[in-house]
Protein backbone atom coordinates (compact mmCIF):
# COMPACT_ATOMS: atom_id res chain seq x y z
CA UNK A 1 0.00 0.00 0.00
CA UNK A 2 1.37 3.40 -0.87
CA UNK A 3 -1.14 5.05 1.46
CA UNK A 4 -0.51 5.20 5.19
CA UNK A 5 -0.56 1.77 6.79
CA UNK A 6 -2.93 1.55 9.69
CA UNK A 7 -2.81 -0.60 12.78
CA UNK A 8 -4.26 -3.98 11.96
CA UNK A 9 -7.20 -5.09 14.04
CA UNK A 10 -7.14 -8.86 14.28
CA UNK A 11 -10.68 -10.12 14.63
CA UNK A 12 -11.49 -11.40 18.10
CA UNK A 13 -11.38 -15.09 18.77
CA UNK A 14 -12.36 -16.77 21.98
CA UNK A 15 -10.34 -19.94 22.55
CA UNK A 16 -11.49 -21.99 25.48
CA UNK A 17 -8.41 -22.74 27.51
CA UNK A 18 -10.41 -25.08 29.73
CA UNK A 19 -12.52 -27.21 27.42
CA UNK A 20 -9.93 -28.45 24.96
CA UNK A 21 -8.28 -31.76 24.18
CA UNK A 22 -4.90 -30.10 24.73
CA UNK A 23 -5.71 -28.48 28.08
CA UNK A 24 -2.51 -29.99 29.48
CA UNK A 25 -0.49 -27.84 27.09
CA UNK A 26 -2.07 -24.59 28.34
CA UNK A 27 -1.90 -25.71 31.97
CA UNK A 28 1.81 -26.52 31.58
CA UNK A 29 2.49 -23.03 30.22
CA UNK A 30 0.90 -21.50 33.31
CA UNK A 31 3.51 -23.47 35.28
CA UNK A 32 6.29 -22.32 32.92
CA UNK A 33 6.69 -25.72 31.32
CA UNK A 34 6.68 -26.32 27.57
CA UNK A 35 5.27 -29.65 26.46
CA UNK A 36 4.04 -31.20 23.26
CA UNK A 37 2.82 -34.56 21.99
CA UNK A 38 4.86 -37.58 20.97
CA UNK A 39 3.35 -40.52 19.12
CA UNK A 40 4.01 -43.65 21.18
CA UNK A 41 3.56 -45.78 18.07
CA UNK A 42 6.04 -44.20 15.63
CA UNK A 43 7.90 -41.79 17.91
CA UNK A 44 7.11 -38.58 16.00
CA UNK A 45 7.29 -35.45 18.13
CA UNK A 46 5.41 -32.53 16.68
CA UNK A 47 4.38 -29.00 17.48
CA UNK A 48 1.61 -27.79 17.63
CA UNK A 49 0.43 -30.72 19.80
CA UNK A 50 -2.12 -33.07 18.24
CA UNK A 51 -4.53 -35.72 19.46
CA UNK A 52 -3.72 -38.08 16.56
CA UNK A 53 -0.33 -38.61 14.89
CA UNK A 54 -0.11 -37.00 11.43
CA UNK A 55 2.33 -39.71 10.26
CA UNK A 56 0.93 -43.07 11.38
CA UNK A 57 -2.52 -41.94 12.59
CA UNK A 58 -2.13 -43.66 15.94
CA UNK A 59 -4.07 -41.99 18.75
CA UNK A 60 -1.58 -43.21 21.35
CA UNK A 61 -0.11 -39.80 22.14
CA UNK A 62 1.98 -38.91 25.18
CA UNK A 63 2.98 -35.52 26.54
CA UNK A 64 6.72 -34.86 26.56
CA UNK A 65 8.84 -31.91 27.72
CA UNK A 66 10.44 -29.76 25.05
CA UNK A 67 14.02 -28.53 25.56
CA UNK A 68 14.24 -24.87 26.53
CA UNK A 69 17.35 -24.18 24.44
CA UNK A 70 17.61 -23.68 20.72
CA UNK A 71 19.08 -21.73 17.84
CA UNK A 72 17.65 -18.88 15.79
CA UNK A 73 16.37 -20.29 12.47
CA UNK A 74 14.97 -17.02 11.07
CA UNK A 75 13.53 -13.74 12.32
CA UNK A 76 11.80 -10.51 11.35
CA UNK A 77 10.84 -7.21 12.96
CA UNK A 78 7.23 -6.11 12.54
CA UNK A 79 6.32 -2.44 12.28
CA UNK A 80 2.71 -2.97 11.18
CA UNK A 81 1.12 -5.01 13.95
CA UNK A 82 -2.34 -5.93 15.18
CA UNK A 83 -4.00 -3.96 17.95
CA UNK A 84 -2.93 -5.15 21.36
CA UNK A 85 0.75 -5.24 20.35
CA UNK A 86 3.23 -2.36 20.58
CA UNK A 87 5.40 -2.03 17.45
CA UNK A 88 8.04 -2.85 16.63
CA UNK A 89 7.98 -6.49 17.67
CA UNK A 90 10.75 -8.92 16.86
CA UNK A 91 9.52 -12.39 15.98
CA UNK A 92 11.44 -15.54 15.24
CA UNK A 93 11.40 -19.19 14.33
CA UNK A 94 13.64 -21.08 16.75
CA UNK A 95 14.88 -24.62 16.25
CA UNK A 96 15.10 -26.54 19.52
CA UNK A 97 17.84 -29.04 20.29
CA UNK A 98 15.53 -31.92 19.28
CA UNK A 99 14.70 -30.34 15.90
CA UNK A 100 11.21 -29.06 16.81
CA UNK A 101 10.67 -25.47 15.60
CA UNK A 102 8.62 -22.81 17.39
CA UNK A 103 7.28 -19.39 16.39
CA UNK A 104 7.22 -16.59 18.96
CA UNK A 105 8.39 -13.17 20.12
CA UNK A 106 12.01 -12.27 20.81
CA UNK A 107 11.94 -10.14 23.96
CA UNK A 108 15.49 -8.81 24.25
CA UNK A 109 16.80 -8.02 20.76
CA UNK A 110 15.86 -6.07 17.63
CA UNK A 111 16.43 -7.16 14.01
CA UNK A 112 19.89 -5.66 13.67
CA UNK A 113 21.12 -7.40 16.82
CA UNK A 114 20.29 -10.89 15.59
CA UNK A 115 21.75 -13.41 13.20
CA UNK A 116 20.76 -16.90 12.07
CA UNK A 117 22.26 -19.48 14.43
CA UNK A 118 22.21 -17.30 17.56
CA UNK A 119 21.73 -19.24 20.80
CA UNK A 120 18.23 -18.80 22.20
CA UNK A 121 16.73 -19.56 25.58
CA UNK A 122 12.99 -20.17 26.01
CA UNK A 123 11.31 -18.29 28.85
CA UNK A 124 7.70 -17.47 29.67
CA UNK A 125 5.73 -14.23 29.73
CA UNK A 126 2.14 -13.14 30.23
CA UNK A 127 0.58 -12.16 26.90
CA UNK A 128 -2.74 -10.59 25.96
CA UNK A 129 -5.16 -13.04 24.39
CA UNK A 130 -8.37 -12.49 22.55
CA UNK A 131 -10.38 -13.55 25.55
CA UNK A 132 -9.09 -10.26 27.01
CA UNK A 133 -7.22 -12.13 29.71
CA UNK A 134 -3.53 -12.63 30.15
CA UNK A 135 -2.12 -16.11 29.64
CA UNK A 136 1.47 -17.26 29.88
CA UNK A 137 3.16 -18.23 26.62
CA UNK A 138 6.71 -19.07 25.63
CA UNK A 139 9.02 -16.29 24.39
CA UNK A 140 12.59 -16.21 23.07
CA UNK A 141 15.60 -14.60 24.71
CA UNK A 142 18.90 -14.15 22.90
CA UNK A 143 21.67 -15.48 25.13
Partner 1 sequence: MTDVAIVGVGTTKYGKHLDKSGTDLAQMAVREALNDARNITIRDIEGFVLSSQNPEILQKQGNSVNHYSEFLGIGAKYAARVEGACVSGTMGLRTGYLAVKSGMVDTCLVVGVEKCYELPSGSDIMAAFAYVIDRDWEAAFGSNAPMGFAMFATRHMQVYGTTEEQLATISVKNRNFASKNPKAHLQKPITVEDVLNSKPVCKPLKLLDCCPVSDGASAVILARGDIARDYTDTPVYIRGIGQFLVPENVISSLSDLTEFTALKMASQEAYRQAGITADDVDVAETHDCFTIAELLEIEAMGFCEKGEGGRFVEEGQTDLGGKVAVNTGGGLLSRGHPIGATGICQASIITEQLRGDAPKGRQVDGAEIGLSQNLGGWGTSQAVVIYSR
Q: Which residues of the shown chain bind partner 1 in the complex (CB under 8 A)?
A: 1-11, 13, 15, 47-48, 54, 73-83, 85, 88-89, 91, 93-94, 101-105, 111, 115-116, 127, 129-130, 137
Q: Which of 12, 31 has the CB closer to partner 1?
A: 12
Looking at the Cβ atoms of 5 and 143, the one nearer to partner 1 is: 5
Distance CA 102, CA 47 (A): 7
Name the minimum Å distance from CB 1 to partner 1.
Answer: 5
Nearest approach in angstroms of CB 58 to partner 1 is: 17
CB 40 → partner 1: shortest distance, Å?
21
**Residue 107, Cβ neighbours under 10 Å: how many?**
13
For residues 112 and 143, which CB has a smaller minimum distance to partner 1 in the complex? 112
Sign of the C-alpha dihedral computed for residues 119, 35, 13 and 55 taken in this order: positive
CB of 137 to partner 1, least distance (A): 8
Please count the CA atoms within 13 angstroms of the CA of 135 that sit on its side-chain side. 17
> What phi and psi, each to the nearest 5 degrees, are found at residue 56?
-110, -5
Q: How far is CA 21 from CA 38, 52, 61, 126, in A?
A: 15, 11, 12, 22
Which of residues 115 and 143 has its CB atom nearest to partner 1 in the complex? Answer: 115
| CB distance 21 to 59 below 8 Å | no
Amino acid sequence: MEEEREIMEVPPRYPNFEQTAIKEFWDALENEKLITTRCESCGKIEFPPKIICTSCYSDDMEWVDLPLQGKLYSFAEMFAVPSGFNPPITVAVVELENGVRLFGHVINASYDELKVGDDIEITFEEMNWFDYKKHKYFVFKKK
